[in-house]
Amino acid sequence: MQPLLEVRSLRTHFELGDGVVKAVDGVSLSVPRGRTLAVVGESGCGKSVTARSILRLVEKPARIVGGEILLHPDSDGEPLDLLAAKDKRLRQVRWADIAMVFQEPMASLSLVHTIGDQIIEAVRLHENVGKQAARERAIEMLGRVGIPDPQRRVDSYPFQFSGGMRQRAMIAMALSCRPRLLIADEPTTALDVTTQAQILDLLQDLQQEFGMAIMLITHDLGVAAQVADEVAVMYLGEVVEQGPASAVLSHPKHPYTQALVRSVPRLGARGQDRLVAVRGTVPPPYERPTGCRFHPRCDAFMAGKCDVTVPTRVRSDEIDVACLLYGEEKS
Amino acid sequence: MVQQTEVMATGTQHEAQEEVVKSLRDHGALPQWRLMWRQFRRHRLALIGLIVLIPIYFMAVFAGFFAPASADTAHTELPYAPPQRVHVSAEHGMFVYGYSSTRNQETFEQTFTVDKSKIVDIGWFVRGDEYSILGPIKSNIHLIGPAKAGEAFFLVGADQSGRDLLSRLIHGARVSLSIGLVGVFASFVLGMLIGGISGYVGGRVDNIIQRIIEFIMSVPTLPLWMALSAALPGSWGPLTRYFAITVILSLIGWTGLARDVRGRFLSLREEDFVMAARLDGVSRTGIIFGHMVPSFASHIIASISMAVPRMILAETSLSFLGLGLQPPAVSWGVLLEGAQNIRAVATAPWLLTPGLAVVVVVLAMNFVGDGLRDAADPYK
Amino acid sequence: MLRFVARRLVWMVITLAAISFVTFVVIKLPPGDYTTTVIANAEARGQDIPDSQIAELKRHYGLDKPFIVQYLTWIKGVVLHGDLGQSFAWNQSVASLIGNRVLLSMVLSIASLLFVWSIAFPIGIYSALRQYSGGDYLASFLGFIGMAVPEFMLALVMMYIGFRYFGQSVGGLFSPEYADAAWNLGKLLDLISHLWIPIVVVGVAGTAGLIRITRANLLDELHKPYVATARAKGLPEWKLLLKYPVRMSLSPFFSTVGWLLPGLISGETIVSVVMSLPTSGPLLLGAVKSQDMYLVGSFVLILSTLTVIGTMLSDLALAWWDPRIRTRFQKG
């Protein structure tokens, strides 16, 4: 069965005055149908830019310079390359097939339009329904995401909502056209911990109800562990490891993922298992390390190999990993 | 310690960009002034503005040397004499033709024609009117002028009393260009002080100060300036008047700057590094001058640079109306007062050249200010 | 909304009180008072006024009372009877002198405001949407020039061009045949045909400033996440730009009145002097030069009052336009 969305060698670069920053440089990943893929990585690794590139939402000075983004609407039909699609076709895909939820619920909703207005707009854009029907859909969706008194709140402005309510409204808007894929870009980062858990629960409930796939961008391995079926780990603009969440998070293959997992605090951990931060710092954006990009910080660094050879993706157990340690086992 | 204030970037694209930029800064470790200069240089108009302004200010400082004559040397027989063209010949070297004037017997209007029989030799570094360089040192050497001191030499024409407009323009630059700086300095002190108090103390004090600022801003400035300058005693000398006008202009001009400073203070107060300094037990003044002021100095410099041309325009307008500086003081506004009469302008359009000077200087200053403002946010 | 209006009204009254006080201080600033002028005038005619008469005058005008009492008497006269005091130079009541002129000043200023809006917003929006295009550079450059040229220079140049090449004076608001005529359609058309030059001249600086502000505001908004949301929703580009960022960036449309109007009145004052328009400008200048302080003060008072009222109206309009401001005051 085809995955819902395949990203192949996506490259998105920032063309700044004094050079090119390769924020996304050869990202490949796939989003399974009806499941949740969590994309994790440190800030600056390019995960948000990847998410935005999928709907071609990047703006100057960023530019998508290469790759393919294949949407398979049906499990065995012809795929649609979103990067090659005409603007009009792309606009049809947006929201109807792939919707997005952003990090800052306050900033990603217009403050001078009512919530209802913004949802109705989306519905009527993609479906041939009347004003009243669209409004009812909006109220229904607001109720579905747990906003109390939706008949009244539909006419409220976003700034009259609390942070958590705003994100719920945003989710209601995202799901108003029943998309096949919901891209959630750090949807809970700006919220407090309790609200964060509620929103994640809500997303899982809605996924069961509507059956859409979720691509969750997060820097928080805990969040990924809580909701993800699959995990993709990004480092310096590429995916270094993708596989089932249980496998990747409990038995990571890539030394970077291993270091990340070690750096997360765990309940019930013993005193001697001290938290270990990932060694070193992220290298400057204009100079990517040669060979494996992680080699200057890697504990398993092999001189003369890792700094020369660019690792290719190989399969080890159920996991796709780009690391020279696993070079021999061909998939 | 150099801290860069950051504009709250929301949204993932900007966040991603911000991160790129932040790591650039961490790794590049360029000092802020160098970043500013690098950014400033890239602003081509700002660079042009700077290149225009530097020689103009230089000329204003050494006005006596650059001007062919003193500001009030008059050739009363040559009112509104038109500009002369410089000719060069093997026989005479550099020279201009003199004037011959005829008076229309009915209208008494005087017309000038170039008189090719009168040749006025001119040269570089000639002796002429005496002037003082920076105080007590006297000299009478002029960059360019008539070889024989006292002959009429009007490169951009003469005014109604037959005074050389170019010389008056160069002398007038001193007042016009300095009043902007002095006035802005005064409003800067007021604005920093009041805006700083407003922003740092906050609360009720802030509220009251903001209301006062709103109040001042809601009054049309020109009528108020006019009213205040009407209250100046007519007996005051040019220097006192100069300072009085400066005070009047800056009394009204400080509000914008105060708002700017306040805004910066308010946003900085919440910044982590200020909190850290406070927790470290740094004193209030220490926090303000050691941490907060350096971090918004670049913005303040930028807004000051935008205030200078506004001051210059204000002085020019007031003096043009005859309410600012008054003769014998010379400023571009005072010179333009002579152009109030449209008939005079029609016969002697060169009377408008001081206006051109104002436009050029203000334009250049706005360019520089724009460049500085961009440079103050090197990563924006 | 009512609450908001009430608050604004209270604040306006306080502002006006403050303005009137400052005005009175300015009126009283020059040394001497009304009697000094009377004595000087009498001496100029070779007369001599006995001290008793001077004391009588002082009592009549309340000049022997403390400053604050004088102020209260004056402001009472202004508010209750529209009595703005006496013009020394014209020997007339100020109110009778300035009525029509202030009206024309306001007509000119408001017309300039409309001109500024109608030019600056479209250009500013275009500039931001087509950032770094040729048109953007042209608009920015013209904007810079507009800000650098003082209004009176522009007026002078216009006058010069009119005089030199069309052989006519472009000053004044009426052709000679209409100057003293009663109002009729012809006079109105004549007024409009004269008015556009001062409107453009007065409006240039404000237009330049507003283009820059609109452009900067819109550029700020263009990259906000809510625009990305709208784009992600699949809205066509021009539609989403107009509905979201442009609408957001238009809030200054209203808040500009606060700073634009004082600037326009200042510009109008000086341009009227140059072009000798029968507005408050030339009369104010004359009053300032002859230290006719009641006349000067009245102009400051009236022009400021009108500005404050204009600003308040624009604040109300802003509240109508921007729900954030409207609702802030709903709960108090």
- Closest-CA distance, B380 to chain A, in angstroms, reads 11
Beta pairing class for C92-93 and B87-89? unpaired
Cis-peptide, bond into residue A158, ω within 30° of zero: no
Contacts of C226 in chain A (CB under 8 A): 107-111
Residue with tokens 């895909």: A93
Rounded to 5 degrees, φ, ψ at B267 are -75, -30
- Closest-CA distance, C186 to chain B, in angstroms, reads 28
C234–A126 C-beta distance less than 8 A: yes
Contacts of A103 in chain C (CB under 8 A): 225
Closest chain A residue to B19, measured at CA: A44
Quote the distance between the C-alpha of residue B121 and its chain's center: 35
pLDDT for A325: 87
A vs C, Cβ pairs < 8 A, gives 68
* Residues of chain B contacting A, Cβ within 8 Å: 10-13, 15-17, 19-20, 23-24, 27-28, 42
Judge contact between C218 and C128, C-beta under 8 A.
yes
pLDDT for B210: 82
Contacts of A185 in chain B (CB under 8 A): 12
> Could you tell me where the beta strands, DSSP code E, fall in chain A?
5-16, 19-31, 36-40, 62-71, 80-81, 98-101, 181-185, 213-218, 230-235, 238-244, 314-316, 319-321
What does the buried/exposed string (b/e) look like for C290-317 if buried means 16 or more CB atoms within 10 Å of the residue's CB? bbbbbbbbbbbbbbbbbbbebbbebbbe
One-letter amino acid for residue A33 of the chain? R
B20–A59 C-beta distance less than 8 A: no
Quote the distance between the C-alpha of residue B180 and its chain's center: 5
Measured between alpha carbons, how far is A231 from A47 in angstroms, rounded to an integer?
12
A189–chain B Cβ distance below 8 A for any pair: no
B15–A49 C-beta distance less than 8 A: no
Q: Which domain holds residue A280?
A: 5-97+179-321
Q: Count the Cβ atoms, other than its own, within 10 Å of residue C104.
A: 20
One-letter amino acid for residue C289 of the chain? K
* Four-point Cα dihedral B194, B197, B198, B199, nearest 10: 120
Contacts of A58 in chain B (CB under 8 A): 13
Contacts of A126 in chain C (CB under 8 A): 234
H-state helical runs in B75-128: none
A107–B10 C-beta distance less than 8 A: yes
What is the domain-level CATH number for residue A300? 3.40.50.300
B16–A44 C-beta distance less than 8 A: yes
> Which has the closest alpha carbon to B304: B202, B195, B220, B205?
B195
Domain count, chain A: 1
C232–A95 C-beta distance less than 8 A: yes
- Third-level CATH fold of C98-289: MetI-like fold (1.10.3720)
Measured between alpha carbons, how far is C223 from B148 in angstroms, rounded to an integer?
67
Q: Which two tokens stand for residue B10?
A: 């929301």
Cis-peptide, bond into residue B328, ω within 30° of zero: yes
Q: Which two tokens stand for residue C36?
A: 């000094």
One-letter amino acid for residue B294 of the chain? P
Question: Least CB-CB distance to B227: which of C26, C31, C228?
Answer: C26
Contacts of A285 in chain B (CB under 8 A): 20, 23-24
Q: Where are the domains of chain C?
A: 98-289
DSSP sequence for A232-251: EEEETTEEEEEEEHHHHHHS
Provide the 3-class DSSP secondary structure of residue A84. Answer: coil
Bridge partners for A113 per DSSP: none
Query: What is the share, in percent, of chain A residues with pLDDT greater than 90?
Result: 47
The segments of chain A whose pLDDT lies below 70 read 266-275, 327-331
Per-residue pLDDT of chain B (380 residues; tens, 9 = 90+): 333 323 333 334 555 555 555 555 544 445 666 767 777 777 788 889 999 999 999 888 888 888 888 777 778 777 777 888 888 888 777 777 877 777 766 666 677 777 777 777 777 887 877 787 777 788 878 888 787 777 778 888 888 877 888 889 898 888 888 888 888 888 888 888 888 888 777 788 888 888 888 778 777 778 877 877 777 776 777 778 888 888 888 877 788 788 878 877 777 777 777 778 778 877 777 777 777 777 777 777 777 888 888 888 888 888 888 887 877 788 898 888 888 877 788 778 888 889 899 999 999 998 888 888 777 764 44
Query: Does A327 reside within a domain?
Result: no
| C246 DSSP 8-state letter | I
C291–B218 C-beta distance less than 8 A: no
| B180 DSSP 8-state letter | H
Query: Does A285 reside within a domain?
Result: yes
> Which has the closest alpha carbon to C213: C135, C141, C310, C120?
C120
Backbone dihedral region of A149: left (phi > 0), alpha (psi from -120 to 50 degrees) or beta?
Answer: left
Judge contact between A289 and A307, C-beta under 8 A.
yes
Over the stretch C2-30, which tens digit does the pLDDT of each residue have?
777 888 888 888 888 888 888 888 877 77
The dihedral built from the CA positions of residue A150, A151, A154 and A159, taken in this order, carries a sign that is: negative
C234–A92 C-beta distance less than 8 A: yes
DSSP sequence for B325-372: S-TTS--HHHHHHTT-SHHHHHH-GGGGHHHHHHHHHHHHHHHHHHHH
Of B345-349, C314-318, C323-327, the range with the lowest mean pLDDT is C323-327
Supply angle C-alpha B262, B265, B267, rounded to 5: 110
Over the stretch A75-121, which tens digit does the pLDDT of each residue have?
777 888 999 989 899 999 999 999 999 888 778 898 889 999 999 99
**Residues found in chain B:** 380
Neighbours of chain A (3+ CB pairs under 8 A): B, C
Closest chain C residue to B355, measured at CA: C153
Query: Does A158 reside within a domain?
Result: no
A110–C226 C-beta distance less than 8 A: yes
B13–A58 C-beta distance less than 8 A: yes
Over the stretch C215-254, which tens digit does the pLDDT of each residue have?
888 888 888 889 989 999 989 988 889 888 888 887 766 7
- Closest-CA distance, A298 to chain B, in angstroms, reads 20
Query: Does A45 reside within a domain?
Result: yes
Element (DSSP H or E) covering residue A122: helix A115-126
Query: Does A154 reside within a domain?
Result: no
- Closest-CA distance, A183 to chain C, in angstroms, reads 11
- Closest-CA distance, A46 to chain B, in angstroms, reads 7
Q: Which two tokens stand for residue B165?
A: 């407009």
Measured between alpha carbons, how far is C260 from C257 in angstroms, rounded to an integer?
5
Query: Does A153 reside within a domain?
Result: no
Cis-peptide, bond into residue A61, ω within 30° of zero: yes
Confidence of residue C171 (pLDDT cuts 50, 70, 90): low
Return the residue in C131, C220, C224, C226 with the most chain A beta carbons within 10 A, the one to mutate for interface testing. Answer: C226
Q: Which two tokens stand for residue A57?
A: 């939402």
Q: Count the Cβ atoms, other than its own, within 10 Å of residue A308.
A: 13
Judge contact between A36 and A214, C-beta under 8 A.
yes
The residues, ordered by sequence, that sit 6+ positions from C236 with a Cβ below 8 Å of its Cβ are A91
pLDDT for B97: 80
pLDDT for C12: 85
Bridge partners for B139 per DSSP: B131
Return the residue in B222, B225, B345 with the most chain C beta carbons within 10 A, the one to mutate for interface testing. Answer: B222
Element (DSSP H or E) covering residue A320: strand A319-321
Helices C151-165 and B353-376 cross at an angle (nearest 10°) of: 140
A55–C223 C-beta distance less than 8 A: no
pLDDT for C4: 77
Bridge partners for B138 per DSSP: B132
One-letter amino acid for residue B141 of the chain? I
Element (DSSP H or E) covering residue B110: strand B110-133
- Closest-CA distance, A54 to chain C, in angstroms, reads 10
> Which has the closest alpha carbon to C300: C85, C116, C114?
C85
Confidence of residue C133 (pLDDT cuts 50, 70, 90): confident
- Closest-CA distance, A265 to chain C, in angstroms, reads 32
Q: Which two tokens stand for residue A299?
A: 């504990």
Q: Which two tokens stand for residue C91?
A: 């020997």
- Looking at chain A, the number of H-run helices and the number of E-run strands are 10, 12
C26–B231 C-beta distance less than 8 A: yes
- Closest-CA distance, B158 to chain A, in angstroms, reads 50
Query: Does A165 reside within a domain?
Result: no
Neighbours of chain B (3+ CB pairs under 8 A): A, C
Beta pairing class for A213-218 and A36-40? parallel
B342–C159 C-beta distance less than 8 A: yes
Q: Which two tokens stand for residue C154?
A: 């522009």
pTM, whole model, 2 decimals?
0.78
Q: How many angstroms separate the most distant Cα atoms in chain B?
A: 88
Query: Does A289 reside within a domain?
Result: yes
A250–chain C Cβ distance below 8 A for any pair: no
Closest chain A residue to B28, measured at CA: A284
